Structure 1
Amino acid sequence: MENQDSKKETPAASNQENKQINENLSNAKFDKNKEVQQSNQEQNNELQEQIKPIPIDEVKERLKSLNFGFKQQNEIDEIRNAIIQSATEFKMIIQQQNKLIDEKFVKDFNNIIQLFASLAEVNLNFESTQITKVQLESLIKELTNSCVSLQIIELNFRNNNLNSKCIKNILQDLSQLLKLKKLTINLDNNYIGAYGLDIALEGWQKGLNVEYLDIDFSNNSLQFDGALLLFQEMKYLKNIVQLKINLEGNSIQSQQLDEKSLMEGIVSCKLLQEIDIDLSNNSIGDSDVADMALQFFQVTRLKKIKLVLWENQVTFEGYYNFFQNISKCKQLEELDVNFDDNQLNEIDESIAYNFSALYQKMNKLLFLSISLCNNQLSSLACSTIFKRMDVIAGLKQLNINLRKNNLTAQDCIESFENFSNIQYLAQLNINLSKNRIESNKYGFLNKITSFPFLQKFSLDLSLNSFDEKYIGTVLKPLSNTNSIKQLSINLSACGIKNIGIQSVAEVLFQSYVQIESLELNLSNNMCQLEYLYSYLECLKQMRNLVFLSINLRNNGLGSIEQDYILNIIDKKRYKYCELLF
């Protein structure tokens, strides 16, 4: 009976046992699968960690610092992953200035540059590296072959003694970049010479597509023939809109007996709107500058002209003839001229120089900047140039630099007496540093501050000998205008002592509650703390002030005085606050 009962229970027990076994097997299999999945996930995480791209900013820094001497392949792989997995387009900057360029560098560069097929902008600085012709040609060829989408290129090859054939090959490679819009090349001090330039410029005869070209040929002994050739070769730049050329220190002599005009080739640039030419430290004469202005007149779309001619041989007559021709440019909106260190001191009193008539023709001019430093201008010369500038009715910004001309306050009164008639002027910057402005003759400022729309005013009176009792009266006319928002005054090395700083505080700052930005330079004076206190207290009355810069260097203020000043001025009140001791 027991055996029969046992037999009856056996199938059920067996089924239960099998079910349990199957369940255990299933659980074991699940655990195993889970374990495998977990292991796979860990491996994947580890793998992802290994190939995780480095931040794109770090890529930029590696390239910028020229970390190309990779010891292991995985460093290049990191760069590759960062580039491939980041959609960020960035400007590649490679700084190799004053560093050795060897074959390892060239190889690494060629490997890396192939990763940047879509690169739009690159900056290569190889200044003073003594890079060889073969190395440089290899780098540029790889760059232009790999990065066909480049639009902006900046190249610095200064101080490398490159030969003309190398430059020719570089220009030829660059001309293949059909999307290139902006090109900057620094070839300063490469001993090219006029003959070498002739060979070098063959490189762009197939045509550069650029709209903006900035090329520096300074200190290359090009002479007149080389400079003439450069401008003649501009005919191959069909799309040029903005042109900047530096020809400083090239022994370019005046060609008074030569019928050729230095810039005659510029006329072929039909689309040119902005030109910036630096001819400093040459021997340019009167006839040359007059011809330059005549060539500018023939470029019918020209709107902006910047011409730097410091340290040449231009006289007052040449300066006048330049303006006579430049005034014919009816479309001109901006004119920036620098005639520092020339020979404008003498003026022929028998000639009726009519600058007023010339200025009147320049009715579209919005920006005018004139720098005549260190010309020892006579009173007559100064007033002749500036007296009737007010007829330029639409002028918005005027910059005048008359530093180191031995001018007196009376000279300034006669020169600036009509300035207040430039009614739409919004910004005025005047530099009268290192002259003979007497502080008891303050009337010259009366005529240059009554502008209803003037918002920015900068005045440099540094290195003038003031009687400190009258320093405040020099600045007093500034309080007559209520429109100024940004004010910059330089009174460095003016002999200001204690009474002087009080005078500045009382006259100037109490009248300027509307000022939002203030820069004051009182360095190299003798301002003591007890007198500075009143000036600092006046700052608190300027409720709208958000930008403050004060220079108190070389005033004999010790650390205790400096700490006291810092405690008076609440830096948190301003968006920007700079105190210099």
Structure 2
Amino acid sequence: MEYQNSTFFNINSLLNTDLSNFSHLNVQLENCQYLNNTVILQLKNCLAECLQLQTLILNLQFDGIQFQQMKLLTEGLPEYQNLNNLQLHLNENEILPETVSILGSFLKKCQQLTKLKIEITENCIGSEGLTELSNAIQTIKNIQHLELQAGNNYIEDDGILALSKALSHLSVQLTDLVIELQQNQITEEGAYQIGEALSICSHLKNLDLFLDTNKIGDRGASSLFTGISKCTQLTSLKLDLLDNEIKDEGACQFGEKIRCLQNITNIEIVLDNNGIRDNGISSIVIGLSNCKLITILSLRLRQNKIDQKGANEIGVAISTLSNLTNLVLYLCYNRLGYRGASNFASGLSKCSQLKELSLSLNSNKIKDQGANAIGVALSNCKNLKKLELWLNKNEISHIGASGLATGLSNCTQIEFLLLNLQKNNIGVEGTCAIGITLSKYNNITDLTLGLNQNKIEDMGIYGIVKGLSNCSSIKTLSLTLYGNNLTSQGYSQIDQCIYSMKNLILLQCGLSDGEKLLKSKEILDCNNIKVLNIIPTNYQSESEIMYHKIKALKIKRLVQLQLEID
């Protein structure tokens, strides 16, 4: 038997290959322009040859698949006695409930599956279609790893009931479960059903549950958390409940239940845009602080109502997690203020084992005091290799920027740095301090600097350039500097610096109207840049965008030009 990862990107390659002994087959016909009924039948005949298959990956995304095509493809296929891994990628087609019924009939022929992945996001399967799919899945008794992506499909609670029954049937053997049902019409009743099903999945090790942009509310969230708390063997949990009308009541239930998961090492929670206040946040992080094995923690709490008390509790909680190495914390668009930022920073300063940190405090009015406190905290995180720091729109001046830079100067092991300080009041002195810090980063290979709409001027650019000149290992550089009263001389300094960076391969630039960056002789003669990604500012005219493109295409050694346009 041929054991190989054989990938095919067109039907002709399949037709010209003897597939009878293949054990692993990967067919990638995504966004295929010629996928008519004839081609569907050819694909079916090829699949019918593969009686020895153990793994089948079939990608038919964006192909306009409807009832007739699914029927042509699946009806008459043999039972696959050896197939244990099936992955079907069917996102963004034209799949209705009756089409799912045909798919379900095919799944019932695959009774030896231990791993099943179905992506059917952005179709129109509704509750009826999810019921058909769930009824088929529950007949496959050996599934250990199940992944179902069915977001944006007009699914209501009655469809969730059928899915929950299927999960209950599979509960004994399930160890890995991924369910994506975002942007549907699930209420507290649907969340209750999911929670009930999860409560008997006692062998689950890894659970990813994405229910963002539904309407499960506090009661639904409480039911869900109660069910998850019974999965005491979990080592990894990813839970997305963005925009679900969850307030403090639901958040408090999460905090109470999460402490049951004593084996958890990786946890990612998304609760953006839910109106949670300090009491709810405090309960969540106090619960998390009881999970002492956590090494990776991601908390996304954007656009809630967190004040300085909640920020303090977050800091205290993370300071008790002695095994924490990776932290993602998004608190932008809350109400921390400089006191809240300082309170949080006090806890962060104790996380000396961190290797990766992503911290977003955009639009929190942390001011110079908060920025200084963050800098002091980071000075203790000397093992950081990757740092992403978003402090946009926070009323930070050169004082806060200098304090932040001083703290960062201790993080000399950094290889990846993203520093966004857009829309503040940072002037020459603060920018030069950042430049001095950059000069100490001998290991950095990937750098993003977002400094647009400050008060940098040419002298500040000189400080940045001086620092960058010592970063000889940089391969990827992203710069956004517009709105800083730069003259041609300032832009020329940047271009000369880019020209001198011999290991630079990929350059990304945020450019405004009439931007003078990338226009000098040094850039046009640059031998190192192979990929250039230009990001025009919002509301630019087509003529301005074309101006940037024509300018960029004059770079002699450029291999690839990308324009990111919203």
- TM-score normalised according to structure 1 size: 0.76
Alignment match, 1:417: 406
List aligned pairs for 1:458-497, cutoff 5 A: 458-464=448-454, 466-468=456-458, 471-492=461-482, 494=484, 496=486
**Aligned residues of 2:398 and 2:425 also touching (Cα < 8 A):** yes
**Aligned residues of 2:251 and 2:276 also touching (Cα < 8 A):** no
Alignment match, 2:219: 225
* Residues 463, 198 of structure 1: alpha-carbon distance in 2 compared, 3 angstrom cutoff: same
Q: For structure 1, which segment, 479-488 or 216-225, has the greater mean C-alpha deviation from structure 2 after superposition?
A: 479-488
Alignment match, 2:7: none
Distance, in Å, in 2 between the alignment partners of 1:420 and 1:244 is 33
Distance, in Å, in 2 between the alignment partners of 1:421 and 1:126 is 45
Alignment match, 1:499: 489
RMSD: 4.0
Q: Secondary structure at the match of 1:306?
A: strand
Alignment equivalent of 1:123, drawn from 95, 118, 126: 118
Distance, in Å, in 1 between the alignment partners of 2:31 and 2:23 is 12
Alignment equivalent of 2:524, drawn from 536, 539, 542: 536
Structure of higher CA gyration radius: 1
Q: Give the fraction of aligned pairs with identical amino acids, expressed as a percent.
A: 19
1:373-431: CA deviations, max 9, x gaps?
11122221221233332112322222110112232233201232222112333322111
List aligned pairs for 1:294-313, cutoff 5 A: 294-313=286-305
**Aligned residues of 2:382 and 2:413 also touching (Cα < 8 A):** yes
**Aligned residues of 2:506 and 2:532 also touching (Cα < 8 A):** yes
1:350-380: CA deviations, max 9, x gaps?
xx95945x34532322111110011122221
**Aligned residues of 2:191 and 2:221 also touching (Cα < 8 A):** no
Alignment equivalent of 2:511, drawn from 492, 512, 523: 523
Work out whether 1:99 is the aligned partner of 2:77: no
Alignment match, 2:391: 402
1:296-335: CA deviations, max 9, x gaps?
1211221111001111111133212211122001111111
Distance, in Å, in 2 between the alignment partners of 1:526 and 1:422 is 37
Higher helix share: 1
Q: Note the C-alpha offset of 1:72.
A: 13
Work out whether 1:330 is the aligned partner of 2:322: yes
Distance, in Å, in 1 between the alignment partners of 2:35 and 2:498 is 56
* Residues 388, 305 of structure 1: alpha-carbon distance in 2 compared, 3 angstrom cutoff: closer
Q: Structure 2 regions of 5+ residues with no counterpart?
A: 1-14, 58-85
Alignment match, 1:548: 531
Distance, in Å, in 2 between the alignment partners of 1:452 and 1:565 is 29
* Residues 470, 381 of structure 1: alpha-carbon distance in 2 compared, 3 angstrom cutoff: closer
Alignment match, 1:167: 160
Distance, in Å, in 2 between the alignment partners of 1:558 and 1:369 is 32
Q: Secondary structure at the match of 2:156?
A: coil
Q: Note the C-alpha offset of 1:280.
A: 0.7
Alignment equivalent of 2:267, drawn from 265, 275, 288: 275
**Aligned residues of 1:403 and 1:432 also touching (Cα < 8 A):** yes
Alignment equivalent of 1:81, drawn from 36, 43, 48: 48
Distance, in Å, in 2 between the alignment partners of 1:470 and 1:63 is 48
Distance, in Å, in 2 between the alignment partners of 1:111 and 1:485 is 51
**Aligned residues of 1:551 and 1:580 also touching (Cα < 8 A):** yes
Letter aligned with residue 201 of structure 1: G
1:32-80: CA deviations, max 9, x gaps?
xxxxxxxxxxxxxxxxx99976999998457998x99979997796265
* Residues 166, 486 of structure 1: alpha-carbon distance in 2 compared, 3 angstrom cutoff: closer
**Aligned residues of 1:501 and 1:535 also touching (Cα < 8 A):** no
**Aligned residues of 2:313 and 2:344 also touching (Cα < 8 A):** no
List aligned pairs for 1:34-49, cutoff 5 A: none
Q: Secondary structure at the match of 1:227?
A: helix
Q: Note the C-alpha offset of 1:117.
A: 3.7
Q: For structure 1, which segment, 74-83 or 136-145, has the greater mean C-alpha deviation from structure 2 after superposition?
A: 74-83
Work out whether 1:570 is the aligned partner of 2:545: no
Alignment match, 2:354: 365
Q: Note the C-alpha offset of 1:236.
A: 2.9
**Aligned residues of 1:209 and 1:237 also touching (Cα < 8 A):** yes
Q: Note the C-alpha offset of 1:340.
A: 0.6
Q: Note the C-alpha offset of 1:448.
A: 2.5
Q: Secondary structure at the match of 1:325?
A: helix
Alignment match, 2:196: 202
1:462-485: CA deviations, max 9, x gaps?
344553575344432222444544
Letter aligned with residue 163 of structure 2: I
Q: Structure 1 regions of 5+ residues with no counterpart?
A: 1-48
**Aligned residues of 1:493 and 1:523 also touching (Cα < 8 A):** no
Distance, in Å, in 2 between the alignment partners of 1:452 and 1:568 is 28
List aligned pairs for 1:174-253, cutoff 5 A: 174-177=167-170, 180-207=174-201, 209-253=203-247
* Residues 463, 353 of structure 1: alpha-carbon distance in 2 compared, 3 angstrom cutoff: closer
**Aligned residues of 2:398 and 2:426 also touching (Cα < 8 A):** yes
**Aligned residues of 1:379 and 1:407 also touching (Cα < 8 A):** yes
* Residues 107, 59 of structure 1: alpha-carbon distance in 2 compared, 3 angstrom cutoff: farther
**Aligned residues of 1:168 and 1:202 also touching (Cα < 8 A):** no
List aligned pairs for 1:39-78, cutoff 5 A: 60=27, 78=45
Distance, in Å, in 2 between the alignment partners of 1:247 and 1:435 is 31
Alignment match, 1:155: 149
